[in-house]
Amino acid sequence: MKTNLPVHKGEELDVTIIDLTYQGMGVAKVDNYPIFIENALPEEKITVKVTKTTKNFAFGDVVKINQVSPHRVNPKGRVYRQTGIAPLQHLEYSEQLKFKQHQVAELFAKVHMDDVEVLPTIGMANPTQYRNKAQVPVRQVQGKLTTGFYKKNSHQLMPIEDYYIQDPEIDKAIVVVRDILRKYHEAAYDEFHHSGTIRTIMVRRGYYSHEMMVVIVTRTKHLPMADVVTQEIQAALPEVVSIIQNVNQKKTNVILGPDNNVLYGKSTINDQLLGLTFAISAGSFYQVNPQQTEKLYQLAIDQAGLTGNETVVDAYSGIGTISLTMAQHAKQVYGVEIVPSAVENAKQNADKNGIKNAKFVLGSAEKVMAKWQEDGLKPDVVVVDPPRKGLDAEFIKSAGEMAPKKVVYISCNPSTLVRDVQRFAEYGYEISAPVQPVDQFPQTPHVESVTVLERTEK
């Protein structure tokens, strides 16, 4: 059945932007029908060209901004917005922080939880050059091995050397490695034909330690000239303590493959957080904004209200960062994590820091939690820090039935946070303090927050 839409593809019209989506796109409405427009900010009046229509919404491109938002800034320009490196860079930072606070509040309000208070987002003094990790695709562009970033919703590589939100030492390292790969005529990966060698360059740098890891992700097991490439990277980048070849032979968007081959130095780098030292391997998750992570973890520790007598479960524990910081204030901590190298790192990290009251288990949080419940484990506090998809319903069931006094929820996706808070309510848990967003990802629309739930029923 053909529906009569209020706008048509190719049409140009004048609209006012009334909102921003969670992806940072401007929203205009024509007869209540939304048009999503990149690079358009609330309160702006623009001429938009409709590029795509669907039954429920349309997309459009800005033709002309007729009235500019007072909050529009333009530090880096078009490429940065287009690539998705910094899609919010055209919005003044103080407004970005408000946008994130508003987004969390709005999601709670949508499910009639208007009484949930959301505090102003904790931001950064310098909201650029914060990322401690880069994963940069390598492709052939105009006959040359090139590093850069994909244009949003495409696999078109835009050459970039200054990534704006990454540690500048990492940006420099990527150019150095790129030039060495060019010098030895390494072949860039060709996605279309699934040919060539070098797929991605990943660099991690410890914020405090300045230890650097370079990971060269290859399609093939063989990396031609591996010896000289390694030697030249070592010579050019004195901070490098680890060079790894990661082999990913699959035709996939997943960046890392299963096999790591240490070409030089260690298989991990060290960094510090809240005074503890952590070993981090190539495949392990580690928060990308170390300055904000310390604030985030401190908040979680404070919210947990530990006195030294508690049993704590840290679910989705990664390399044990939260578990080990909490272990210093608790009787016993149990961590569960699904990535084997991360669990290995977590155990190493407990030893490294002389912490004896933290135990780490490899497995899925939902299965391990169910087993712990069956075994009669009774945590006082459960801390969760899941990926964007949030918590599995089975996990919430086990956690609810274990009846901890508190659940501290660190979330990187407010939509799944709201869903999970509603599920916890079925087990008698209510939000007991204002939700605190912490800006882990300035210049992007991603929202991180800490929420504490307390048990209200027996």
Ligand X SMILES: C[S@@+](CC[C@H](N)C(=O)[O-])C[C@H]1O[C@@H](n2cnc3c(N)ncnc32)[C@H](O)[C@@H]1O
For residue 338, state whether it binds ligand X (rule: CB under 6 A).
yes
| Beta carbon nearer to ligand X, 189 or 286 | 286
The minimum distance between CB 113 and ligand X, in angstroms, equals: 23
**CA angle at 284 for the pair 336 and 261, rounded to the nearest 5°:** 130
Task: Report the residue number, 209 or 364, with the smaller CB distance to ligand X.
Answer: 364
Residue window 243-282: x/- pattern of binding to ligand X, with contact defined by CB under 6 A: ----------------------------------------
DSSP 232-263: HHHHH-TTEEEEEEEE--SSSS----SEEEEE
316, 360, 409, 441: which one contacts ligand X (CB under 6 A)? Answer: 316
Distance from C-alpha of 99 to C-alpha of 76, rounded to nearest angstrom: 20
Candidates 63-71, 242-250, 314-322, 401-409: pick the segment binding ligand X (CB under 6 A): 314-322
Contact call for residue 365 and ligand X (CB under 6 A): yes
What's the min distance (Å) between Cβ of 342 and ligand X? 5
In angstroms, what is the minimal distance from the CB of 87 to ligand X?
21
Among 16, 47, 51, 364, binds ligand X (CB under 6 A): 364
390 catalytic, yes or no? no
Q: Is position 316 annotated in a ligand binding site?
A: yes
Residues in the chain: 458
- Distance CA(365)–CA(390), nearest Å, equals 11
Query: Cα separation of 21 and 99, whole Å?
Result: 10
Interface residue with ligand X, options 89, 121, 321, 444 (CB under 6 A): 321
CB 365 within 8 A of CB 318: no
Q: Is 120 an interacting residue with respect to ligand X (CB under 6 A)?
A: no
**Site membership for ligand X, residue 289 (CB under 6 A):** no
Cα separation values, 63 from 38, 48, 92, 152, Å: 11, 5, 22, 19
Structural tokens at position 350: 């407990």
Cα–Cα distances in angstroms (integers) from residue 367 to residues 120, 335, 337, in the given order = 36, 13, 11
Residue 426 labeled ligand binder:
no
Cα distance between residue 253 and residue 191, in whole Å: 10
Q: How many CB atoms lie within 10 A of CB 421?
A: 24
Quick one: 217 or 322, whose CB is closer to ligand X?
A: 322
Which residue type sits at 39?
Answer: N
Residue with the CB atom nearest ligand X in the bound state: 318
Name the residue nearer to ligand X (CB basis): 177 or 452: 452
Minimum separation from the CB atom of position 452 to ligand X (A):
16
Helix (H, G, I), strand (E, B) or coil at 83: helix
- For residue 426, the minimal CB distance to ligand X (Å) is 21
| 342 forms part of the interface with ligand X (CB under 6 A) | yes
Residue 317 lies near ligand X (rule: CB under 6 A):
yes
Say whether 122 sits in a helix, a strand or coil: strand
Name the active-site residue from 203, 263, 365, 412. Answer: 412
Spatial distance between the Cα atoms of 209 and 229, rounded to a whole number of angstroms: 24
Q: Which of 229, 237, 299, 336 lies at the binding interface for ligand X (CB under 6 A)?
A: 336
181 is a contact residue toward ligand X (CB under 6 A): no
Residue closer to ligand X, measured from CB, 81 or 205 = 205
Specify whether the CB–CB gap between 366 and 338 falls below 8 A: no
385 belongs to an annotated ligand binding site: yes
Binding mask 386-425 for ligand X (x = CB under 6 A): xx------------------------x-------------
The correct pick among 27, 236, 255, 339 for binding ligand X (CB under 6 A) is: 339
The single-letter DSSP state of residue 86 is: S
Q: Which of 393, 403, 447 is nearest to 24 (CA)?
A: 447
Q: Which of 83, 183, 192, 73 is nearest to 134 (CA)?
A: 83
How far apart are CB 319 and ligand X at their closest, in Å? 6
Cα separations (Å) of 153 from 50, 82, 84, 156, 160?
17, 9, 9, 9, 17
- Beta-bridge mates of residue 336: 315, 361
CB of 329 to ligand X, least distance (A): 16
For ligand X, the binding residue among 163, 285, 424, 441 (CB under 6 A) is: 285
Binding-site ranges for ligand X (CB under 6 A): 285-287, 316-318, 321-322, 336-339, 342, 364-365, 385-387, 412
Binding-site members for S-adenosyl-L-methionine are 287, 316, 337, 385
Annotated catalytic sites, by residue?
412
